[in-house]
Amino acid sequence: MYKFLLPLMLVASIFLPAAAQTLDLPRNGDMAQASPDRPAKALEPSGPLTLQSALALALSANAEVSAARYELAAVEASVVQAGASPNPSLGVQMQDTRRTTRETTVQLSQPFELGGKRAARIQAAERGRDAAGAELGAKQAEVRAAVISSFFDLMIAQERVRLAQESADLAQRASTVASKRVIAGKVSPVEETRARVAETGVRLELLQARSDLTSARKRLSAMWGSLTPRFERAEGELQSLPALPDPAALSAGLVSSPALARARFEVDRRQALARLERSRRTPDVTVSLGVNRNEELGRNQAIVGVSVPLPIFDTNRGNVLEALRRTDKARDELAAVEIRLGSELALAVEKLTTSRQEVQALQQDILPGAQSAYEAATTGFEYGKFGFLDVLDAQRTLLQARSQYLRALSEVHRAGAEIDRILGAPMAAANQ
């Protein structure tokens, strides 16, 4: 037996690669520690939290971003696998069990891929890697935009609590003035009742504002997987509004946006898969070399063979047609994404422009006027020049103006975050 195994081993050395490349995989005990490259997880501060800190926390610890990173790492591994060549096969066949008349055949077979299958397979895997990278970029842009929106929602909730507390103090002051005037006999006790009712309503708004603040804190911390916020408060420039983007910069940014890149890479991947299916229509060739040992004759015989499958019944036509139709689908999806992103971007820019104008009008005219009117009405009521209904009307106007101002600020930052999500790049901030 050993007499003809030696030549076969020499034949095997010809088939097998001279320098086989192997992928260093972790051993069983280290499998749980294998992970793709990812930024170090940031720690949530116990003091004030800035927007940059919140973004760093979310991008390092958000579960959806982490899942996209692992998907990219998995697809990168598929690129390595796509470059592997088919393995050879070793066959042993024995005729007759008697030693003197036994005939043994040992054969080594090596398939050879034809039609560019290996190159097409590698190209399809690389296009899949590009698509996974674009998916990671799109997910990071989505998370970044969500963090920005949540962060400014929290800052607005903090400001709403502060303004609600000021309003409660003003309402308490009005109630005290009304009570003194009732004691002095200058107004009816009904005025004091009205003042108490108004004060109660403002304090209920303060309770609601505090509840909204708690919810906003939890929504923000959930972006990095924390159910219990550790940070003290959000710290930033609420008055620093996103700048109006240049139309030319918008057009250039839209072309390279992560969502559009993801759809574009998907078209490339589908085209590569279609080429791979076409290449599979070409049959592969299997070359066999072996040795036949005839114990009865006492001699070895070399065996050389070639086998080629005949593509008679299965020509891979269905898979090719499927790949082509999925390519057509990816092209239509790309066109749909272009239209959708263009529409969303135009709406976000229009919302940003309108909200900025509203904020400016409220800051420059409405809020100062409402504050002045309330102070004048309160002072006039103290000196008996106005009725308390005038005070309530001025107070209502001031509260509405403050609420409208906070809503406009929220809309501005939400629109800026939406543009950030679409373009995949941070919006520039600018003072008014």
Cα dist. 300→5, 92, 93, 429 in Å?
Answer: 10, 15, 14, 84
For the whole model, what pTM was predicted?
0.78
Tokens of 258: 């992560």
When pLDDT is cut at 50, 70 and 90, the band that residue 424 belongs to is confident
Instruction: Write down all domains in the chain, each with its CATH number in brackets.
Output: 118-280+345-432 (1.20.1600.10)
Residue 431 in this model has a pLDDT that exceeds 80? no
pLDDT recorded at residue 42: 65
The rounded distance, in Å, linking the Cα atoms of 200 and 94 is 99
Report how far apart, in Å, the C-alpha atoms of 200 and of each of 117, 172, 177, 379, 390 are.
77, 9, 16, 21, 18
Condensed to tens digits (0 to 9), the pLDDT of residues 42-91 reads: 678 888 999 999 999 999 999 999 999 999 999 999 999 999 999 999 99
Q: Does the pLDDT value for residue 268 go beyond 90?
A: yes
pLDDT in tens, 200-247: 888 898 899 999 999 999 999 999 988 889 898 899 888 888 888 888
- Which residue's structure tokens are 């962060």? 151
